[in-house]
Amino acid sequence: MAETSQPPDKPLSAILRELSADPDRSMSVAELVEAFGPRAFGAILLIFAVACALPLPPGSSTVLGAPLVLLAPQVALGARAPWAPRSVRERRISTTHLRQVANRIIPTLERIEKVSRPRLRFLFGQVGDRLIGVVCTLLALVLILPIPLGNVLPAASVGFLSLALVTRDGVLALIGYVLAVASVGVLTLAAGIVIRTAQHLLAILSVAT
């Protein structure tokens, strides 16, 4: 997948509106990446992060988190444009599904775009972008796990970090990092509760036998 010539000053929300406007249209993953041009990494990560946060049937985040597991490590490795196997590039996406994500994200995205601007630039560059990729990769691995309600904070963190890649806004990156830390805290707490509950049940069973 190569970078293309999408005007860099066109708001991401406007591109999403255009892509989801025709209800009878479908597009390949390669066409979707091409539409976002040099901002494809951040845009695609954002779309799938929001999709993972939607109230979908159990197991949906496992499927939707898979592209994040594929793309986020590429950011961590410093790739200039997204790569995917041919079978993934040619996969068709219904604009009906894209619209579901777009309708959820566009109002908030437009508000953020009004106040967002490039700032705290030291958080980006070769090191900063790769750090965002590493954090998104770790969170993507969490998102593909079947953890009930365990996808909201990690998905929100990936969403802010990916949007920071698009806008080069360090404030958004900091919010993403804070949410990542919160995700680790919540998941650690949940794991501790599960372990203690299991130990308690095993103790009861051992006494009963």
Question: If residue 197 lies in a helix (H) or strand (E), which one and from where to where?
Answer: helix 170-208
- pLDDT of the residue at 181: 93
Kindly state the average pLDDT of the residues 132-150.
84
Mean pLDDT estimate for the chain: 81
Angle CA 40–128–81, to nearest 5: 25
- pLDDT of the residue at 208: 66
- pLDDT of the residue at 209: 64
- pLDDT of the residue at 24: 65
Q: Is the pLDDT reported for residue 148 higher than 90? A: no
- pLDDT of the residue at 4: 38
One-letter amino acid of 149: L
- Better pLDDT: 139 or 144: 139
pLDDT-based confidence at residue 60 (cuts at 50, 70, 90): low
Looking at 30-44, 52-66, 96-110, 158-172, which range is the least confident one? 52-66
Q: pLDDT, tens digit, for every residue of 22-53? A: 766 777 778 878 888 888 888 889 888 888 87
Chain centroid to CA 151: how far? 11
- pLDDT of the residue at 7: 40
Q: Is the pLDDT reported for residue 132 higher than 50? A: yes
- pLDDT of the residue at 106: 87
Q: Is the pLDDT reported for residue 105 higher than 60? A: yes
- pLDDT of the residue at 6: 41
- pLDDT of the residue at 9: 66
- DSSP state letters, 92-158: EEEHHHHHHHHHHHHHHHHHHHHH--SB-GGG-HHHHHHHHHHHHHHHHHHHTS--TT-SHHHHHHH
Distance (Å, whole) CA 201 – CA 198: 5
- pLDDT of the residue at 127: 92
Distance (Å, whole) CA 76 – CA 133: 4
Distance (Å, whole) CA 110 – CA 128: 25
pLDDT-based confidence at residue 128 (cuts at 50, 70, 90): very high
Looking at 20-24, 73-77, 97-101, 194-198, which range is the least confident one? 20-24
